Structure 1
Amino acid sequence: MLTTAPHLYIRRPSPTTAEFTVTTCPPLTIPLRLLLLIIHLARLVLVSASVLALYSRFLFDPSAAVTTATAGTVGQQQQYNATSNNNNNVNDGQGGEAFALLLAGDVTAFAAALLTAARLSRAGALLDELAAPLPDWALAAACAGTVYAVACRFRLHTTESVLVLRGLGIQTCSSGSAAAAAGAGGGSRWGWARQTRFIPTEKIRDVLINEGFRGFEVRYYLCVVVEGEEDVVVLFPGTLPRRKIVEAVWRGIRACLVEGDGGDGGEKG
């Protein structure tokens, strides 16, 4: 439900331009959108909890937090916080101070005040109790690993596209896990990276379909032979679509580069 086999979309913005997109994302129905929203909210909660746990253990100063909260930033709020001793009132003071800092444009102080307010809340106190048995190194490793896995490496879908511009060249773009799989271009190996590369027409020697093995399985690779490079550029390295899609893109690229006809627009399985 969350992912499908790679399928092809063809878009033609102009008679001499064609874009071929291969993705593992299924059609975004309402139930799927709701499920993805729940997943993204869960990821946000995990990242926020990890950051708050690190802040509580290494940066949080209880005495400074209480002093700041009781001091306040505005006259009425100052009097209210000075006469309040429970955690809820302290938390309200921190929230008002954080909002004032945001309006003032002090992002660093706003983040610190927001984290302090979260730490003084019931949820923050419960999180601190749960993390208390862990030593510092274990907590730091667990939180860093969670943030890296959830925010940087976790991707449900992989999308790769090839934009063909007659007389100009070919631009490839990979997002999700495909960006890490691609070997050329200026992207990084972070999961959220978008890796792009442009190959000018004058450097394109040929566009080929090669047959190779992936484990014990025979796969078909769409390759671009680039002048001055020893290795060919593999298109769609992250999705590795089946032969029917590879052949459709191969015909579309050659037609667009040579004849200016990228094939009919629409979707192909």
Structure 2
Amino acid sequence: MTFQCYAHADNTREYIITSDAPRINSYDFMVVIACAGCVYFLGPTFTSYAVIALLIVSRIIVKLFMVTEETILVIRDVGAQVKTVYLGGRSTSRFIDRSKISDIIINEAITMMHIRVYLAIIVEGEDKMVVVFQHLLPRLNVLLQAYHGARSIIFNEKDHSDVPLEFS
């Protein structure tokens, strides 16, 4: 995972998390082996081709929802934009007006197996928080830099982050 911070101006900052995960992984090789095994054991029949098509289509669908990049762009007196970019190039964005931002927090989610730390924006009038970097879930030191930088821009606070701006 790669983290980058860009200060476009004194009143604007952008934090980008990029996934370094390989686009083709061991699951893709397992699908190829399963397809070859299907043709070998079932022969060139309609059933084997249907199974192969099902495996390939399911793998493509999984790849289309694979997140490659997540971004938060904060602009003083304007608000914040949270953006997610998927493997196929599709992206989703959400803009949160400054007047609607109640707070920016770092929170913990505790499950049976994991404790996840995440950055969230509390929006006035909404029941749910907007989780920033919700798919890639960077480490705490990355979240702290984004947290301090976003708060310094949105709430005009002093930026207390003293970690480097770029690291992997």
The TM-score range, normalised by the shorter chain, is 0.7 to 0.9
Shift of residue 244, structure 1, vs aligned partner: 1.1
Query: 1:145 matched to which residue of 2?
Result: 55
**Greater share of residues in strand:** 2
What's the secondary structure of 1:171's corresponding residue?
strand
Give the AA of the match of 1:25. Answer: D
CA deviation vs aligned residue, 1:54-113 (integer Å, no higher than 9, x gap): xxxxxxxxxxxxxxxxxxxxxxxxxxxxxxxxxxxxxxxxxxxxxxxxxxxxxxxxxxxx
Shift of residue 212, structure 1, vs aligned partner: 2.1
Q: Does residue 250 of structure 1 match 2:137?
A: no
Query: 2:166 matched to which residue of 1?
Result: 267
Shift of residue 141, structure 1, vs aligned partner: 4.2
Task: Give 4+ residue runs of structure 1 displaced > 4 Å after superposition.
Answer: 260-265
Shift of residue 210, structure 1, vs aligned partner: 1.1
Q: Does residue 12 of structure 1 match 2:1?
A: no
**Greater share of residues in helix:** 1
TM-score normalized with structure 1 length: 0.48
| 1:1-269 correspondence to structure 2 within 5 Å | 6-25=1-20, 133-149=43-59, 151-154=60-63, 158-176=68-86, 193-259=90-156, 266-269=165-168
Distance 1:137 1:196, change over 3 A: farther
Give the AA of the match of 2:151. Answer: R
Give the Cα separation in 2 of the matches to 1:145 and 1:166: 48
Shift of residue 157, structure 1, vs aligned partner: 6.6
Distance 1:24 1:245, change over 3 A: same
Give the Cα separation in 2 of the matches to 1:261 and 1:165: 15
Give the AA of the match of 2:130. Answer: V
Query: Contact 2:109 / 2:115 at 8 angstroms: preserved in 1?
Result: yes
Shift of residue 261, structure 1, vs aligned partner: 7.6
TM-score normalized with structure 2 length: 0.72
Shift of residue 192, structure 1, vs aligned partner: 5.4
Distance 1:227 1:220, change over 3 A: same
Query: 1:126 matched to which residue of 2?
Result: none
Q: Any unmatched runs of 5+ in structure 1? A: 1-5, 27-34, 47-128, 178-190
What's the secondary structure of 2:122's corresponding residue?
strand
Give the Cα separation in 2 of the matches to 1:210 and 1:238: 15
Q: Any unmatched runs of 5+ in structure 2? A: 32-38
What's the secondary structure of 1:154's corresponding residue?
helix
Give the AA of the match of 2:108. Answer: E
Shift of residue 268, structure 1, vs aligned partner: 3.7
